[in-house]
Every structure is written in structure tokens, then in C-alpha cells.
A = this chain, B = another copy of it.
């Protein structure tokens, strides 16, 4: 069903590792793995039967798709050094413009998997949403086929949408994680563990599986329970930063109720 195509992976970090392993297991032939660190390139390339390079000039032209899975800052530096004619070149970032690749090839795009990765934890790409974007129709079609060969959740999006998705992910994931951290510190001061809140945290996520989050909002702010809000602000009197967050989030919840 799938054409016999070669992939090269530029990067050997968390995403590069999980994506490389997934593509290899799906039967793709991985030509090269590039990393600034020869050691990291070696580690990944051994796992996926590829050649390791640590000098980008040694990137061969034998692959059909080049995946730049590097940190945001490094993408532009590497992109400037690529001259891949009409080979497909993609980056994997939620926040970097697609056009950063316009001088690397005539066919370029974005392949943005919406998940957080680690080198050691096996990622199941089948359930990971992949957002793709391309500079022309042919590249878009190829990238759709390519993404669908590993994920059941492929979405064609434009640059503004991708930016908004990334922004929404910062709110829903980065900021939530920080709130878990705040909760942990508040509990630790009373010699209590975050484990106490784990079932409640998990249920909060379960509840939005089939309902809108705003319909599932609970707590003192949505109830208009000023007494509890005052008690909580008093408990936070020694930590003005947390007090500010509590106030601002509570006001935002109250306003969202008004605007409903």
C-alpha cells in the first residue's frame, strides 16, 4: 500500500526518538539521523538501523522526507544549511512559522504531533493528533498519507490555527501542570501528599471527555461563595504571588459565568 520511501531525521531528542522508532516499526527505511551530539545520533540510529551524522553537511540526498525534530531555536540554524531541492522538508514545532523552511526545499511543511514525549516512554502515535501544513497541494497530500500511516488523528491546519493550538496547549497543559505544582507545595507545607488530590485531578479530566469544561466548572468562584474565597486568600496571605493567581483565576471564572 505504502511506497517504499526513505526518511531522514534531523534531531535525536525525545520526539525524534519516539517518531524514529515508530516509523522504523511501521516499516519505513530510515536513512540518517543527525544530531549535533555524535553520541545522541549514535544512540538513536542504532535503534532504527540508520546512519548517524553529527555534521549537517553530511546529510545525504537519498531520502524523500526530512523531518527536523529539533528545539525551536535550532530549527532556523539548521534550515539555513539545507539545500534539498524538491525533497519534502518538515519541522515538528507548534510555534515556528512554516516559511522558515522556504529556502531549504521547494516542498516544505509542518508535521506537528500534539503530544509530549520522553526518550524512554514508548509513544503510541495511533492516538496522537498530528497537525499538518504544507506550502503546496502535492506536499499536503503526501504529508497526509505519511501522517495517516502512523496516526488515526490527522488534521490539516493553517499557520494561524497551529499558533492558536499551541497557545491553547500552553493554557490547558503547561499552566495546568504548574497549578499541580502549586497544589503540591501547598500540601507539602502541611506534610500532605499530592496523592490525596490525584483521583480528583483525574476525574476533572474525565469529566470533560463528553462535556464542555465550562459546564463542568465547580468550586467557590463559580458558586459565588465569597466567604470561602476570602478564607483562601487569607490562607495565602504570606504568598502574594499565589494570592494574585487565586484572585485572577477566580475573577476569570466569575466573568465566564456572566458571559455565558
Contact = CB atoms under 8 A, between A and B. Distances in A.
Most chain B beta carbons < 10 A, residue from A181, A197, A212, A232: A181
A255 interface: yes
Given A179-B172, A181-B214, A231-B95, A167 B236 contact: yes
Contacts of A164: 186-187, 189-190, 192, 235
Nearest to A196: B129
Contacts of A175: 179, 219, 245, 249, 253
Interface string A171-190: 11111111111111011011
Nearest to A225: B72
Most chain B beta carbons < 10 A, residue from A166, A200, A216: A200
Interface string A208-224: 11001110111111100
A178 B205 CA distance: 11
Contacts of A127: 199
Contacts of A169: 183, 197, 200
Contacts of A183: 168-169, 171-172, 213
Interface in A215-260: 216-222, 225, 227-228, 231-232, 235-236, 241, 244-246, 248-249, 251-253, 255-256
Contacts of A26: none
Contacts of A192: 155, 157, 161, 164-165
A14 to B, nearest CB: 10
Interface string A105-148: 00000000011100000000001110100000000000000000
Interface residues on A, range: 35 or more
B157 A172 contact: no
Given A172-B183, A175-B179, A217-B177, A202 B203 contact: no
Given A167-B235, A189-B164, A221 B173 contact: no
A180 B116 contact: no
Most chain B beta carbons < 10 A, residue from A171, A204, A217: A171
Contact of A201 (B161, B172, B184, B232): B172
Given A173-B197, A181-B213, 5 more contacts: A163-B231, A170-B220, A176-B176, A241-B255, A244-B248
18 contacts: A73-B225, A95-B228, A128-B199, A129-B199, A164-B186, A164-B190, A165-B190, A167-B232, A168-B183, A170-B220, A170-B246, A171-B182, A172-B197, A172-B200, A181-B217, A194-B213, A241-B252, A245-B248
